[in-house]
Structure 1
Amino acid sequence: MVSVWQTPELSDEIIKGDEIFESTTCIVADIVSAKIDIMCLVQNMAGVLTSKEVEYREKGMRFFTKVLKELPKDYLTQMQVRFISNFYTDRLRDYHRVIPPVLEGYLAIFEMENYDMQKSGEFLRALFREVPCQSQVRQDRLNIYLIIKKLLEKDVEHMKSMGPNFAYGFISAMDGERDPRNLLFLFEFIPTFLRHIPLGHLVDGMFEVISCYYPIDFHPSPDDPQAVSRQDLADELGPCLCAIPEFGEQCLILLIDKLDSTLRTAKMDSLKLLALSCRTFKAEAYGPFLKALWSSLNREISHKTDDELKMSAHEALSTLIAKLATSANTDQVFENFIKGILISMQTAIAESTTVAQLVQATKVLLTTANASNESCVIVTKAMIPAALAYYELNPSPKLQIATLDFLGDLNDITKHWEVTEQIEKQIIEIPQLCLTAVSQPSKEYQIAGFKTLIRVKSVLQSELVLPFVEVLIHNIQHSQENDVLSVSVEAVHAIARKYPELIMSYVVKGKCDLDNLTRDKDALQKRLNLLSNLASIDDFTKVIIEEMLKVITSDDQDASKVVEALSESMSNASLYTVQKVTQIESDYGLINSILTWLLKELSSTTKESLTHGFALISNTMSSLPAEKQQIVLSKHMQFVLEKSKTEESYFVVLECLYNSLHETVYEPNFPDIMSLSLQWALLSDNDEIRNKACGLVAHFLNKAPFGDKFDALYEVLKNHLSSCNRDDEQLCPKVIMLYGWIAKALVLRGSDMFHFWLQKIIAVLSHPNYTKLGAKAIHLIMTDFPDHLNAKYHCRISLLYRQRMFQNFSVLTEKLAVSCQTKESVLLSWAYILERAPKSVLNNEIKKVAPLVIDSLLFDNKDLLLVMTDVLSHFVKTKHMVIADSTQTILPRLLVLTKYVKSMDVRINSLQCLFDIANTYPTQLVLPYKQDVLFDLAPSLDDKKRLVRNMAVKARTRWFLIGAPGEPTPN
């Protein structure tokens, strides 16, 4: 049977209705199977395509375009594609209603494999001549831009050969575009167009068309589901304005003009544009404008309150200097510009009377120096001597200390650019100034001087070492200030790396008298801290560690102080790397010495004095590879295990040996140790023993490989818990906390078994007598601990465990029976979950979370209120309308919390929420509450805490501005 599309009746079917449009798949199949030729199809459509009725011609073109789009791209021959291309080009002269399917069809044509790019010129000439782009609807305009973009992508060279007419046509087509989505498409495409198509005499015209949109002044409709933001448009417009070097003069004139405007967005966009332009424009393009640019940049850098604007100005200045530095060896423009900045800032420094004024000027100099190798040399050569002189001439302690920091910053920049040798003559003077500062009795001077010395240690001369050592050792022996002691030890360490022989002689053998380490009891602990710090340096390790271990193993009464010093220093990863700790253990048997001392002291000393020994063993074990851990266990495990069965104090030794094991370490006695840990976790009355026992249970469950080994441990756990007396009121709190540890261990490793234990905890939440313990168990699961279940101790950590906790807790609490007695604990548990949950999870579940947050504002619980006000502030800033709809409920509760006497932080958080509400939601939403809020905020202005008063002023000012002329637009 002959199909209708194989006959001239096809035109009548198209005119009759839209049913024929559903047959295009069959038509395409017939064309591909050669049952009908596409030329014949066009002939059969002649009636509709040449109809006098525009409506019918439009339907005909829509029908044929649909067929074209469904055809395989490689099916039509070159002759057929040419014929169709000519046909579509001719259709551009038709009535405007016919144009949309023509444009859509041509998009399909040039994607054909046999499309002849020669035909694109004819089509574009007809398009630009016959179709006024800006008179078309949005989608048709977008299709015109798409045709131009895709043709350029298909054959750049051919499009270039079309000459300036192509560029003129594109400029004319886009001139006057106002739709934000189309503009975003154009702004993304224009830089590519400009890089490939020469503009010739059209440069000014193109720039004028683009620059009329600058700066973007646009705010999307809140009802638009595909809204384009102002920032989206601004980010894409900038690269268009500086896409080619030919735009240089016009672009710079434009951005300087907008920098001088009063509109903040114009300033921000112009600063970003200046930085962007440096990627394209040549250095010489900036020459005529440098004076104006520096004037504008300096003004924005000096802004008193807008930190974001200041940061953008610094970034723009840095980028500009880096660009100018590329011409440093060819002209004087760069050097003159840097010298102009130097003169301005030197004047500002000389006139500074406050630290803020000084820092503002020095930040500009640091930005300048950090921009390029060449600017670094110029600035540091001039400013190091100037800063040294300023220090001497200015008697203000605060300004002198700020000057020391500035010198340290300059030194860091010279190291970054590796130009220290070029300015050695200047920089070598800084350590002498540091010595002058540390010789002052003032704590602030000493800290600043030593911190700067640490930064410039590479240029410290040997003749200054002894004077510094005298001051440093005096501090270490006599200072009672922890921060002075800390920086003094750090300074000795820094000097020791440069002059190990001198420090060995002056400090280790001299002032610290290592050979008679414990003879002098004065400031012994401080000297031990210094020596253990220095032991991390290879040149000092052997002599210091050996002497310290002698003290530990010789029944010396000061051994505990030596252990404390070693533990404090070796737990500092910036001093002792994993490799360094492993090396010390291998070379000197550190664990064996500490264990011997611990086991001997356990019977005669209070356990509190041995804490550092336990920590030192645990830290050392965590640094060892698996095979060395097993060697240590084989030496000491049996004795410690037997003693731990009867004496809980020995269990701490067992715990510090086993909690740091790698996942791969597993021994047959692990079930016995698991049973012992459970025993002390549930029977001990000592909180520390119980926590360590629970922690070790959790470590075993977290690390044991799934299979027989895990099953053996899990069986021990179930048997032990099943034998517990559930009616024992003293045992129940211990069991609940153990549930928390078990659930934490399992969820961290990503095991679904944690769900069972979480159910038990949630069941506890509904019991009035134990609900607080249930919340405490949830807190335990969500909290990170430095000594348990972390990467340092080789535990398995699932990246998504907080999301899983949120989802499972959410599901399990849906049907939880909540009473007045348990509601606070349930909400507190939610707070612990929300505090750690990723913000993306909260955003997706706002309808569930928001009511919990709002309910929590009624409870007198500091921990609950702190978390929930933070979450509320987040929801407000992300403009969730769920919160906006509850404003009438939220505002009175927040106003009550601004007077919450138990916590300054709660008062600050509630004031922050009030500020965010006024600063985020539309005026019409918050205006009705303005007067009540202003009245209730008045008492906070007299709060006894300065930080609360500051936040109250900020919040009240923002509420006062609601509805006022010139009110700031919500972000």
Structure 2
Amino acid sequence: MDSIWFKPELADEIIKSNDIFEETHSIVADMISGHIDITHLVENMAGVLTNIEAENREKGMRFFTKLLKELPMDYLSEAQIKFIAKFYTDRLKDNHRIIPSVLEGYLVIIEMKHYNMNNTGEFLTMLFREVPCQSQVRQDRFNIYLIIQKLMEKDLDYMKVLGPDFVYGIISAMDGERDPRNLMFLFTFLPYFLKHVPLGHLVEEMFDVISCYYPIDFYPSPDDPAAVTRQDLASALAPCLCAVPEFAEHCLILLVEKLDSSLRLAKIDSLKLLAESCKTFKAESYGPFLKTLWSSINREISHKTDDELKMAAHEALSALVANLATTTNTDQAFENFTKGILISMQTAVAEATTVAHFVQATKVLLTVANASKESCIIITKSMIPATVAYYGFKTSSKLQIASLDFLGDLYGLAKHWQILEELHIQISEIPQLCLTAVSQQSKDYQIAGFKNLIIVKNVLPSDLVLPFVEILIYNIQHSQDNDLLGVSVETIHAIARKYPELIMNIVVKGKCDLNNLTQDKTALQKRLNLLSNLASIDDFTKVIIEEMLKIINANDVEASKVVEALNECISNNSLYSDKKVNQIESDHGLVDSILVWILKEIEGPLESLIHGFTLISNTICSLPSEKQLIILTKHAPDIIERCKEREVYYLVLECLYTPINQDIYNSKFEDIIRLSLNLSLHSDNELVRTRSCVLIAHFLNKAEYGQKFELLYELLKSYLTTCSRDDMELCPRLIILYGWVTKSLIMRGSDLFLFWLQKIMVTMSSPVYCKESSKAIQLIMTDHTEYLNQKYHCRTSLLYKQRMFQSFSTLTEKLGTLNESTKEHYLLSWAYVLEKVPKSVLNNEATRIVPIVIDSLEYDNKDLLIVMIDVLCHIVLGKHYLVADSLQTILPRLVNLSKYVKSMDVRIKSLQCLYDIANSYRTMLLLPHKQDILLDLAPSLDDKKRLVRNMAVRARTRWFLIGAPGEMKED
């Protein structure tokens, strides 16, 4: 026990040597074990803590604070903490050098278990009196703010009773703060403080000290790695300015003043502050300012080009109307304000001569109507009849169509606020107006009218159904426009849900003559599409499906068209849910009927059967496992036997097994995978080979880990080991199969994919097979809508593309030097990978990617160039140094590509990249290239394509401005 801290010489040791600071953990250990208590320790430190030299006292306080930090939080008793807290409080009167350690130490004391809040009052009084906060360094100011926050978190009730002196102390402490990190802390803390601590007579002083920062005009240093942005500060400041109702008058005067500013950011911040204030201020607070506020908001809403400013104005208006609406029954201000806007916008609508002016005014009305139920009633009651009338006296087709869209929006808001009953008279006029519109020959009128009718279908009177249906059926029979056809079918569907009996009689049994459906060949496919769509409605399902299946079962000459129509609709999940498909299969045996038809027709052209295969797959994938098993047990054995005789029957087998659930497995799987492997490599039919690969991939992806997966995987490996690698015809097929196997395994997250990917990569250096290897990489990275997707119950790892990038990148490093005959396909493989990986990967791996991208710009391959220029543009926007270092190589290649005759897209993208470079990198780097680029881009100004010319003008103008006085880089 001869350590120095047991002796009075401890004080001298602290003064003389810094090594003692490394011993604090030993001192703490002795304190915890009871060999020395804190009182004895303080006595031994007396010489340094009371030393005449401030420098020595500072060392003593640093030493003692370090000890406190290392003590367990529950070690000191309440009496000991009181003694230490009093000691630290007294030190606040000491030399300024002592203050940092005092603040650090008190932060530690506050966190201790037995700290008594009664110690707080004296400390804060002394802190505010003796320590001028803004005279301290940034970290010490932060510690002062942190002490206040932690004390409030510890005992809010105690802090409330400290009274005006505490509030004034905080005002004084933060007054003049300029550090963005400290301000961010204060702005985050202040709303809590203001809502819980009464300000008394200091409301104005508190608001003044906060509002001096408004609007934020701070911009971070470009060298700061963790910079606080201007937007961060602005977003945090706004809730402080409107934290309590007492701030209302001061805040509203301030934001009204700033709304009249010529500074764009001041306007945006003020509009956002107005929206934020509506969460706190009472509606009455806005009364004296409403006229001025509306004037300012309307001015900004009318801005022609600044979308951000317009959006902020709309959000502010919405928040203000919603706030005022809370006083509907007690104050006339809300109604007066809303009606004032209504009258103003009605005038603007009436005077609108362009769609842009009309939409601008109606958007304001929609914003007001969307803000509250009360405002919606006022706006819709007036504007629905006014808009119906407006349609009648406006002869401009575009304005009439815009008014129809506006009516649909108004109805949608009325439905949202559940006020349709109150508007029954007004909205009853809309269907008749829709009929007027669709009676026009113009496609635009008809689409607008039908879309509006779909929205208001619930108020469509029965006497208008027939006129609408006449026009709709005429469209379906005669129109060649896909947009009009689509909306016509959708409209009949909407009417059918409202009036199923009428549509059944007029359309299904009447105009479409379901009972003699295929007798009339005119527009048969369109009528079939309509009926298939209607079959998704319960009232129509039985009648339509039964009649369609009769045609298929009879092997009618038009059966293929029926199958196509059913397939198109049943594959649409928004029309046919899994439950609905399951019901149709249970009630009507859809799969059986389609299979019988396919087997009868399979000797003919396969193109006519493709929809049948897809329809079977789409139906089976919607069924539960037990029903899937019944279908497989019933049909698979016969189909497998037929496959042995004619390989075309394999297409039927594949459509049965591809969509099955993951939990299905039976003894036939081994036979099927052997058959699939044989056909994938030896069939002369490309479709059969592809479908064989697909089914193998599905089996490997969906098989549950364990015996099932291992059996299938071993069958695959053992079969492929027998295949000759010297067979010039077989090898390309093998490589494609490797691609499917790799894709299935990597998608399920299995590490086994790497073995097969390596096989593909080996062939990349072969001039004979490099093309197939790049196709295999493309196959792995491509999202297939019809294969290996979640709809067909496949496993899909979220990060499989990132994993593919990492593995591919690693394996390419082992390829060695590639000759010219293989390098293009190697780079094309890179393009397929880079095109599909997330942008974050491009950011993180730019050093690896940039040289590959630069190399790719030399090749005459449109697919390669489009992807690589896109990647380069993304890296340029990130201002990566490698691009800056390689400008001498990149710029001439991009200039050459700006004249690439084989692809307009390549020309546009190369010009876009040249623009991005000029807009991203420092002037001193770009200036040496300026004149050459200006000369080289001149031919693009006369390009035969307008889009290329536009991009050329933009790029050349930006290069022209490089080095010009007052040059500004875009953010």
Indicate the residue corresponding to 2:338 in structure 1.
338
Indicate the residue corresponding to 1:666 in structure 2.
665
Please say if 1:227 is aligned against 2:230.
no
Indicate the residue corresponding to 1:388 in structure 2.
388
Please say if 1:684 is aligned against 2:683.
yes
In structure 2, C-alpha distance between the alignment counterparts of 1:348 and 1:775, rounded to whole Å:
60
How far residue 957 of structure 1 moved from its aligned partner, in angstroms, is: 4.2
Task: Give the counterpart letter for 1:64 in structure 2.
Answer: F
In structure 2, C-alpha distance between the alignment counterparts of 1:853 and 1:252, rounded to whole Å:
55
In structure 2, C-alpha distance between the alignment counterparts of 1:72 and 1:326, rounded to whole Å:
53
In structure 2, C-alpha distance between the alignment counterparts of 1:289 and 1:632, rounded to whole Å:
73
Indicate the residue corresponding to 1:556 in structure 2.
556
How far residue 802 of structure 1 moved from its aligned partner, in angstroms, is: 0.8
In structure 1, C-alpha distance between the alignment counterparts of 2:466 and 2:876, rounded to whole Å:
59
Indicate the residue corresponding to 1:766 in structure 2.
765
1:921–1:970: 8 Å Cα contact kept in structure 2?
A: no
How far residue 969 of structure 1 moved from its aligned partner, in angstroms, is: 5.1
Let me know the Cα RMSD of the aligned residues: 1.8
Query: Counterparts in 2 of 1:136-535, with a 5 A limit?
Result: 136-535=136-535
Aligned length: 970
> Structure 2 unaligned runs (5+)?
none
1:699-734 CA-partner distances (Å, limit 9, x unpaired):
111111222222222233223322323222222221
How far residue 563 of structure 1 moved from its aligned partner, in angstroms, is: 1.2
Q: Secondary structure at the match of 1:96?
A: coil
In structure 1, C-alpha distance between the alignment counterparts of 2:285 and 2:939, rounded to whole Å:
58
Shift in CA distance, 225/290, structure 1 to aligned 2, threshold 3 Å = same
Indicate the residue corresponding to 1:656 in structure 2.
655
Shift in CA distance, 828/922, structure 1 to aligned 2, threshold 3 Å = same
Shift in CA distance, 888/381, structure 1 to aligned 2, threshold 3 Å = farther
In structure 1, C-alpha distance between the alignment counterparts of 2:432 and 2:774, rounded to whole Å:
58
Superposition TM-score, scaled by structure 2 size: 0.97
Indicate the residue corresponding to 1:585 in structure 2.
585
1:552–1:563: 8 Å Cα contact kept in structure 2?
A: yes
Shift in CA distance, 796/109, structure 1 to aligned 2, threshold 3 Å = same
> Which stretch of structure 1 is more off in the superposition, 937-946 or 71-80?
937-946
1:922–1:970: 8 Å Cα contact kept in structure 2?
A: no
Task: Give the counterpart letter for 1:823 in structure 2.
Answer: K
How far residue 558 of structure 1 moved from its aligned partner, in angstroms, is: 1.6
How far residue 404 of structure 1 moved from its aligned partner, in angstroms, is: 1.3
Indicate the residue corresponding to 2:824 in structure 1.
824
In structure 2, C-alpha distance between the alignment counterparts of 1:966 and 1:201, rounded to whole Å:
49
Shift in CA distance, 867/251, structure 1 to aligned 2, threshold 3 Å = farther
How far residue 262 of structure 1 moved from its aligned partner, in angstroms, is: 3.0
Q: Secondary structure at the match of 2:860?
A: coil
Indicate the residue corresponding to 1:54 in structure 2.
54
1:828–1:864: 8 Å Cα contact kept in structure 2?
A: yes
Indicate the residue corresponding to 2:630 in structure 1.
631
How far residue 912 of structure 1 moved from its aligned partner, in angstroms, is: 2.9
Shift in CA distance, 307/956, structure 1 to aligned 2, threshold 3 Å = farther
1:146-204 CA-partner distances (Å, limit 9, x unpaired):
11111111111111111011111111111111111111111111111111111122222
Task: Give the counterpart letter for 1:739 in structure 2.
Answer: Y
How far residue 508 of structure 1 moved from its aligned partner, in angstroms, is: 0.9
In structure 2, C-alpha distance between the alignment counterparts of 1:862 and 1:240, rounded to whole Å:
55
Indicate the residue corresponding to 1:647 in structure 2.
646
In structure 2, C-alpha distance between the alignment counterparts of 1:770 and 1:571, rounded to whole Å:
38
In structure 1, C-alpha distance between the alignment counterparts of 2:205 and 2:937, rounded to whole Å:
56
Moved over 6 A (4+): none
Indicate the residue corresponding to 1:694 in structure 2.
693
Shift in CA distance, 439/795, structure 1 to aligned 2, threshold 3 Å = same
Indicate the residue corresponding to 1:812 in structure 2.
811
In structure 1, C-alpha distance between the alignment counterparts of 2:927 and 2:318, rounded to whole Å:
43
How far residue 674 of structure 1 moved from its aligned partner, in angstroms, is: 0.9
> Which stretch of structure 1 is more off in the superposition, 373-382 or 920-929?
920-929
Task: Give the counterpart letter for 1:628 in structure 2.
Answer: K
How far residue 962 of structure 1 moved from its aligned partner, in angstroms, is: 4.2
In structure 1, C-alpha distance between the alignment counterparts of 2:841 and 2:215, rounded to whole Å:
36
Q: Secondary structure at the match of 2:645?
A: coil
Shift in CA distance, 922/328, structure 1 to aligned 2, threshold 3 Å = farther
How far residue 94 of structure 1 moved from its aligned partner, in angstroms, is: 0.9
Shift in CA distance, 822/262, structure 1 to aligned 2, threshold 3 Å = farther
Indicate the residue corresponding to 1:840 in structure 2.
840
Indicate the residue corresponding to 1:783 in structure 2.
782
Shift in CA distance, 625/188, structure 1 to aligned 2, threshold 3 Å = same
In structure 2, C-alpha distance between the alignment counterparts of 1:146 and 1:806, rounded to whole Å:
45
Task: Give the counterpart letter for 1:78 in structure 2.
Answer: E
Task: Give the counterpart letter for 2:743 in structure 1.
Answer: K
1:369–1:377: 8 Å Cα contact kept in structure 2?
A: yes
In structure 2, C-alpha distance between the alignment counterparts of 1:744 and 1:8, rounded to whole Å:
75
How far residue 744 of structure 1 moved from its aligned partner, in angstroms, is: 0.3
Q: Secondary structure at the match of 1:664?
A: coil
Q: Secondary structure at the match of 2:421?
A: helix
> Which stretch of structure 1 is more off in the superposition, 745-754 or 348-357?
348-357
> Which stretch of structure 1 is more off in the superposition, 816-825 or 412-421?
816-825
Indicate the residue corresponding to 1:79 in structure 2.
79
Indicate the residue corresponding to 1:92 in structure 2.
92
In structure 1, C-alpha distance between the alignment counterparts of 2:20 and 2:225, rounded to whole Å:
33
How far residue 884 of structure 1 moved from its aligned partner, in angstroms, is: 3.7
> Which stretch of structure 1 is more off in the superposition, 214-223 or 800-809?
214-223
Shift in CA distance, 772/280, structure 1 to aligned 2, threshold 3 Å = same
Shift in CA distance, 843/68, structure 1 to aligned 2, threshold 3 Å = same
Indicate the residue corresponding to 1:121 in structure 2.
121
Shift in CA distance, 387/954, structure 1 to aligned 2, threshold 3 Å = farther
> Which stretch of structure 1 is more off in the superposition, 704-713 or 484-493?
704-713
> Which stretch of structure 1 is more off in the superposition, 535-544 or 404-413?
404-413
> Which stretch of structure 1 is more off in the superposition, 4-13 or 712-721?
712-721
1:242–1:277: 8 Å Cα contact kept in structure 2?
A: yes
How far residue 850 of structure 1 moved from its aligned partner, in angstroms, is: 2.2
Task: Give the counterpart letter for 2:705 in structure 1.
Answer: F
Shift in CA distance, 248/859, structure 1 to aligned 2, threshold 3 Å = farther
Query: Counterparts in 2 of 1:6-85, with a 5 A limit?
Result: 6-85=6-85
Percent identity, please: 69
Q: Secondary structure at the match of 1:150?
A: helix
Q: Secondary structure at the match of 2:98?
A: helix
How far residue 481 of structure 1 moved from its aligned partner, in angstroms, is: 1.9
Shift in CA distance, 66/831, structure 1 to aligned 2, threshold 3 Å = same
Shift in CA distance, 969/764, structure 1 to aligned 2, threshold 3 Å = same
Shift in CA distance, 836/241, structure 1 to aligned 2, threshold 3 Å = same
Indicate the residue corresponding to 1:618 in structure 2.
617
In structure 2, C-alpha distance between the alignment counterparts of 1:510 and 1:622, rounded to whole Å:
34
Q: Secondary structure at the match of 1:751?
A: coil
How far residue 946 of structure 1 moved from its aligned partner, in angstroms, is: 3.2
How far residue 78 of structure 1 moved from its aligned partner, in angstroms, is: 1.7
In structure 2, C-alpha distance between the alignment counterparts of 1:966 and 1:284, rounded to whole Å:
48
How far residue 961 of structure 1 moved from its aligned partner, in angstroms, is: 4.3
1:134–1:177: 8 Å Cα contact kept in structure 2?
A: yes
In structure 1, C-alpha distance between the alignment counterparts of 2:773 and 2:652, rounded to whole Å:
30
> Which stretch of structure 1 is more off in the superposition, 876-885 or 91-100?
876-885
How far residue 461 of structure 1 moved from its aligned partner, in angstroms, is: 0.6
Shift in CA distance, 308/942, structure 1 to aligned 2, threshold 3 Å = farther
How far residue 312 of structure 1 moved from its aligned partner, in angstroms, is: 2.3
In structure 2, C-alpha distance between the alignment counterparts of 1:965 and 1:253, rounded to whole Å:
39
Task: Give the counterpart letter for 1:945 in structure 2.
Answer: K
In structure 2, C-alpha distance between the alignment counterparts of 1:965 and 1:381, rounded to whole Å:
57
Shift in CA distance, 253/819, structure 1 to aligned 2, threshold 3 Å = farther
Shift in CA distance, 943/249, structure 1 to aligned 2, threshold 3 Å = farther
